[in-house]
Amino acid sequence: MAREVQLGVLKEFATKANPDVQRIEDEIRELQKQLKRLEIQDIQNPKGNESIGAFITLSEAPSIGLQFARLKRDALIQQKVFELLTQQYELAKIEEAKDDITFQIIDPAIPPEKRIKPKRTQNVLLAGVVSLFLGIFLVFFLEYLAKQKSQPNDRLTH
């Protein structure tokens, strides 16, 4: 029974091709063969002293019945605990999947070998030419303003 429970737990997380699953299945088959051999031996020789026997006497029945009831209760408790922990584990996996935003990188970024933009030399030259023309325009404009100021004074004096 313990091996069957262990196999059930293992099958929830592993496939039938898993070596542990196959090993436990083999053990279960061997144990079942041994149990059948013992049952056949007890049926053929029920009063023999040399057989181990799967059957019990009536005097041993109450204590073995009590032991069986306790073991069955323990097995049920373990089964319920296992079911509860499995449910909590599944809920935790679902919560983790909700929180985790996964994305897959299809093509990794590769820096270019030659820069295309911005063209620094072109920007520097353009800024230099524009500032030269603005400087010349400013000089001409300031000279024009200076002439305008001096001309009204000349008109007043004439």
pLDDT digits (tens, 9 = 90+) for 19-54: 888 888 998 999 888 888 877 776 766 555 444 556
5 in Cβ contact with 27 (< 8 Å): no
For residues 50 and 11, membership in a common domain is answered with yes
Q: What does DSSP assign to residue 58?
A: T
Q: 109 in a domain, yes or no?
A: no
- How many domains are there within the chain? 3
Q: 107 in a domain, yes or no?
A: no
Domain region containing 91: 56-102
38 in Cβ contact with 30 (< 8 Å): no
For residues 45 and 6, membership in a common domain is answered with yes
pLDDT tens sequence across 93-141: 888 777 666 678 888 889 888 888 888 899 999 999 999 999 999 999 9
